[in-house]
Structure 1
């Protein structure tokens, strides 16, 4: 009975407003970083994700996406390719819900943006990212094929990543086509 009450109370909590960024390079590959906090965990393969973070009070989602991307990667050389057609939400599992964000949210409601990366890889700095004073989010990064993203994210976020991949898949085809035929 106790867990049912806890579960019901969690369902009454709001979602945290957040943004996510799919950074696409000239080869149609996507930036992913390995979350620093999970790098010591057993190698479950689910510690990779795209940049994401909360929207500050009074901040527009697009501005939050640019800020989060810079804070986590130091990247500024981007152009907007697309905005996801809707917000995508996920609930935190009960084992995480009480600790994350001091138990104030049931999960996140995310607005996703796709950006074309127009810089060189040397611009990416995850160890001393931009925005000052922020603890680095990632301890490793790499470029990855879009179709692999859902299998690399922690399982409770997988449905959101599947929607993001579906929404932005045409952009990668477009990107590859325009690079192959300038």
Structure 2
């Protein structure tokens, strides 16, 4: 199903863990890494396609994730001619994608790259949010950068634990004499952004 300009509707998925690291999948039998993505079937909404692709490629169900955001509009990339089947050349130009930012609320063990008979990935890992785009196939790098940039403002704040309390020490920042705040016992754990 192509639009008038030759772009196939598609969804992309940026899946976060609790540390705001992203799921990074290695394409089956290649050295190419990417986010889960896939086409929108006739009659599907982008959200329905996202949940279907999430299960097909990563093995997760809707109860394993929380939707944090999605891109406002379609992000497009063109596919070079040598990657397009000969019978589609002249009609097919590339993908237009709605990108979703998801938080994994399940466990890593809920993921299953063999959830269907047609796996997309043969390995996965967690990576920093700003993934090394040089391992992404060149013609997708721009759309990855656009999606990551647009959705970065929706990243949940992570908790930073007070380093003094982790070491079993009192929080001395509030009282120069070394007395804990409130005068009795260790300081309450501090959080930041």
TM-score category, normalised to shorter length = 0.7 to 0.9
Residue 147 of structure 2: aligned partner: 164
Q: Distance in 2 between matches of 1:58 and 1:14?
A: 19
Tell me the equivalent position of 2:19.
Answer: 27
* Structure 2 residue 138 is the aligned partner of structure 1 residue 151: no
TM-score under structure 1 length normalisation: 0.79
2:123 is equivalent to residue 140 of structure 1: yes
1:5-63 Cα offsets, whole Å, 9 max, x none, are: xxxxxxx8610110011101111000010000424xxxxxxx10000000010000011
Q: Which has the higher contact order (CA 8 A, sep 6+)?
A: 1
Q: Which has the higher helix share?
A: 1
Match of 1:36 in 2: 28
Aligned-pair CA distance for 1:169 = 1.4
Name the structure 1 match of 2:95.
108
- Structure 2, unaligned stretches of length 5 or more? 162-189
Given the superposition, is the C-alpha separation of residues 113 and 154 from structure 1 closer, same or farther in structure 2, using an over 3 Å criterion? same
Q: Given the alignment of the two structures, is residue 90 of structure 1 paired with residue 77 of structure 2, yes or no?
A: yes
Q: Give unpaired runs (5+ residues) of structure 1.
A: 1-11, 40-46
Given that residues 32 and 141 in structure 1 are in contact (C-alpha distance below 8 angstroms), is that contact kept between their aligned partners in structure 2?
yes
CA 109–75 in structure 1, closer or farther in 2 if over 3 Å, else same: same
Q: CA deviation at 1:106?
A: 1.1
The equivalences for 1:54-69 within 5 A come to 54-69=39-54
SS at match of 2:54: helix
Q: Distance in 2 between matches of 1:82 and 1:159?
A: 20
Alpha-carbon distance in structure 1 between the residues aligned to 2:25 and 2:35: 6
CA distance in 1, matches of 2:138, 2:9: 20
Show structure 1 runs of 4+ deviating over 3 A.
101-104, 177-182
- Matches of 1:79 and 1:178, distance apart in 2: 22
Q: Which has the larger radius of gyration?
A: 2
Contact 1:48 1:153 in 2 (8 A): yes
> What is the TM-score with the length of structure 2 in the denominator?
0.74
Residues 37-52 of structure 1 mapped to structure 2, 5 A cutoff:
37-39=29-31, 47-52=32-37
